[in-house]
Structure 1
């Protein structure tokens, strides 16, 4: 079963790699972006160059009206929504708890938690057998920080990913008989621009020696895991959170 794959935050890093992977597998990819339209269009072009179908949509995932409008627009595509990858997320920078501003905390929860909940809700309303859907898969992109805690850097970010893990486990049970599987991937240290944009371009090189496998992961390795979870080969897998972390 292919159909539409909605990848939130699909303009860079793990989201871009996932969108490209799914496009090559035959999904019609709709990827969202918050600010960087050019980067999103480059991902679309790469998918099309590989023979796939894709389009990019601007989305503030913290805005319920925008989320609702996006899912309504998906109805104009002559294919069903069969896969949601809840990837959009922000860290709001590195900060110890004692220095954390309320605005940082509010924004990271609005995007990482509220946005993911709203997208999952709308996906269930379209995929579920009880809603006339054909079933489908939801993959929540979490983080190993949810278990490790993010101490000294981003406890606030880690807490949002812990909430996302709870959503994964709870929703998986709630919709299992409605034809929807819900799983998560929990990346560890991945070599993306996330670290530099948060002010620590050296973070990957500094942390890599402490990973049991001795290196940072690649966005494509996370994308491969997402693709497997979405495949028929994982047809009896739901409620799982798969670490993609090199053993950390």
Structure 2
């Protein structure tokens, strides 16, 4: 079986990606930062359905942790794909209200974390390094284009960096058997909003969306699995909005 590494795999979009990937035949490495119980629950669900998965904890902004994540994945079999999903938003508020430490951590997780995971993926999958090829999907946000004023300008900036990195890396490894794409979710029903003190955010924002609702994590997962699949064999350097039109 081929192996898929999913960072931020214990909850929300990441957990949906893990479940769907396992259902489609991947052995899944469920990467998580702090919630080991949730990650093990995802693994248990996958195993109960006849799939194969393991949970690996670590900080995506830490080189040693990322190397350990990928080394552990190699024990399951050949690496076929990576979903760089782990991300944080930090405190909501205007830019001039933000604490430098909070912003630094958002950039470490959302930008450096994607860089480290993409680097490890290329080192293992690129034909230049003796690999068999594969696919990387990064998770951006439609905030990268909107700027997220009044809430998370720093987060939006981090996601714009992810999109730039995705495009550049796709060009860099396009002839080495590695495709690199991004999805850009819009408003999605996850626990993130309540966790950062904005439990009513979905209700407030949904009327702005042409489809008049938030997305579901499973809908984002479908786009990610498509980009990983042979059906997207001629797609690289793309950013796929999954946003209900907003």
TM-score range, shorter chain: over 0.9
Q: Are residues 1:152 and 2:150 paired?
A: yes
In the alignment, what sits opposite 2:179?
181
Partner SS, residue 51 of structure 1: coil
Matched ranges for 1:102-141 at <5 A: 102-141=100-139
Tell me, in whole angstroms, the C-alpha distance in 2 between the residues paired with 1:128 and 1:61: 21
Equivalent residue for 2:208, pick from 195, 207, 210: 210
Structure 2: tracts of 5 or more residues without a match: none
Tell me, in whole angstroms, the C-alpha distance in 2 between the residues paired with 1:32 and 1:213: 32
**Could you tell which deviates more after superposition, 65-74 or 7-16?**
65-74
In the alignment, what sits opposite 1:67?
66
Tell me, in whole angstroms, the C-alpha distance in 2 between the residues paired with 1:238 and 1:24: 24
CA deviation after TM superposition for structure 1 residue 130, in Å: 1.2
Matched ranges for 1:213-224 at <5 A: 213-224=211-222
TM-score, normalization: structure 1? Answer: 0.98
CA deviation after TM superposition for structure 1 residue 65, in Å: 1.3
CA deviation after TM superposition for structure 1 residue 128, in Å: 0.5
Structure 1: tracts of 5 or more residues without a match: none
TM-score, normalization: structure 2? Answer: 0.98
CA deviation after TM superposition for structure 1 residue 51, in Å: 1.5
Tell me, in whole angstroms, the C-alpha distance in 1 between the residues paired with 2:116 and 2:225: 22
Give the aligned length.
Answer: 246
Tell me, in whole angstroms, the C-alpha distance in 1 between the residues paired with 2:75 and 2:39: 21
Tell me, in whole angstroms, the C-alpha distance in 1 between the residues paired with 2:12 and 2:189: 8
Summarize deviations over 1:195-219 as a string: whole Å, max 9, x none: 0001001100111111001110000
Tell me, in whole angstroms, the C-alpha distance in 2 between the residues paired with 1:49 and 1:120: 30
CA deviation after TM superposition for structure 1 residue 47, in Å: 1.0
Tell me, in whole angstroms, the C-alpha distance in 2 between the residues paired with 1:105 and 1:35: 19
